[in-house]
Amino acid sequence: MKILVPIKRVVDYNVKVRVKSDGSAIELANVKMSINPFDEIAVEEAVRLKESGKVSEIVVVTIASEKGQEQIRTAMAIGADRGILVKTDAAIDLGGVEPLSVAKTLKALIDKENPDLVIMGKQAIDDDSNQTGQMLAALLGWAQGTFASKLDIDGDKITVTREVDGGLETLELCSPAIITTDLRLNEPRYAKLPDIMKAKKKPLEIIEPSDLGLDYSVRMKIVNIAEPQPRKGGIKVDNVDDLIDKLKNEARVI
């Protein structure tokens, strides 16, 4: 069985981002970049399936500038076998490569690579769209198991437990399928130094969107980006009595 894992290069989740002063974009110069955390969970899940003997090959794909190679190497250090970078200079966070374009790119690659399963993040922590997996499933006519906290593969049978607003839901999906990961699916490992060294030698192919017959036209134009209204800090209360008094008589919320 072959798994394809799309990953995204995003601003590291620990970074507090700043908006450029002209309101056109987020400041990305000299900011730490990482694999989107949900995608790291996707890579880890694929690697665990490989370790359990159910999977023979893991291909990671990213759409990014030249620098996307860094995230592919990181995924390879976790255990992916091969990488494809679809190289673009368009913005990948906002106002450039939109989720539908990503889904179309992945579909074109899947038509060539024929994986049996795709595992990807439920959401990228930059544009917070939560669309790409569902869109890809639609374009392929495949089943979708979104927001997965548990995944079982038994031959052709894919069982996925999903984190939904009411609790948990378990579905059985026809194969092939798209899985999108939620936080509880697994805890990704830290890559060890020897694996990081090994990753440098794994095959990494670089292609252009035009090789797949795609261009990245924008349908959802960014008019402006602004910092949210800052919340005014409040006060410290001395004790519980003081707190109750403030809530009752000042804020009047209880």
Partner 1 sequence: MSILILAEHDNVSIKTTTLNTIGAAVKIGGDIDIVVIGSNCGVVAEAASKISNVNKVILADAEHLKHQTAEEIAPIIVDLAKSYSHILAPATTFGKNALPRAAALLDMQQISDIISVESVDTFKRPVYAGNAIATVQSSDSIKLITVRSTGFDAVDATGGSAEIENYSVGAAVNLSKFIKQEFTKSERPELSSAKIVVSGGRGVGSKENFDLIEKLADKLGAAIGASRAAVDAGYVPNDYQVGQTGKIVAPDLYIAIGISGAIQHLAGMKDSKVIVAINKDEDAPIFSIADYGLVADLFDAVPELEEKL
Ligand X SMILES: Cc1cc2nc3c(=O)[nH]c(=O)nc-3n(C[C@H](O)[C@H](O)[C@H](O)COP(=O)(O)OP(=O)(O)OC[C@H]3O[C@@H](n4cnc5c(N)ncnc54)[C@H](O)[C@@H]3O)c2cc1C
Pick the closer one to partner 1 by CB: 83 or 161.
Answer: 161
- Write the single-letter amino acid at 102: V
Which stretch, 44-52, 53-61, 130-138, 197-205, contacts partner 1 (CB under 8 A)?
130-138
Nearest distance from C-beta of residue 37 to ligand X, angstroms: 4
Pick the closer one to ligand X by CB: 15 or 174.
Answer: 15
Q: Is residue 121 at the binding interface for ligand X, with CB under 6 A as the rule? A: no
Q: Is residue 135 at the binding interface for partner 1, with CB under 8 A as the rule? A: yes
Nearest Cα neighbor of 45 from 102, 105, 4 is: 4
- Decide which of partner 1, ligand X, none touches 224; Cβ closer than 5 to 8 Å per partner kind: partner 1
Q: How far is CA 109 from CA 6, 39, 63, 134, 217, in A?
A: 11, 18, 12, 16, 19
Q: Is residue 13 at the binding interface for ligand X, with CB under 6 A as the rule? A: yes
The correct pick among 28, 125, 196, 207 for binding partner 1 (CB under 8 A) is: 125
The correct pick among 156, 169, 205, 215 for binding partner 1 (CB under 8 A) is: 169
The count of other CB atoms within 10 Å of the CB of residue 117 is 25
Buried b (16+ CB within 10 A) or exposed e, 161-188: bbbeeeeeeeeebeebbbbbbbeebbeb
The secondary structure of residue 239, as a DSSP letter, is: S
Long-range contacts of 233-241 (CB under 8 A, 24+ apart): none
x/- letters, 18..47, toward ligand X (CB under 6 A): -------------------x----------
Nearest distance from C-beta of residue 153 to ligand X, angstroms: 24
Residues numbered 125 to 184 that lie near ligand X (CB under 6 A) are 125
Give me the half-sphere count of Cα atoms (radius 13 Å) on the Cβ side of residue 86: 27
Could you give the CA distance from residue 58 to residue 80 in angstroms, rounded to a whole number?
A: 5
Q: Is residue 31 at the binding interface for partner 1, with CB under 8 A as the rule? A: no
Sign of the torsion angle spanned by Cα atoms 132, 138, 141, 144:
positive
Q: Is residue 225 at the binding interface for partner 1, with CB under 8 A as the rule? A: yes
Nearest distance from C-beta of residue 183 to ligand X, angstroms: 6
Q: Is residue 204 at the binding interface for ligand X, with CB under 6 A as the rule? A: no
Q: Which residues contribute to the site for ligand X (CB under 6 A)?
A: 13, 37, 125
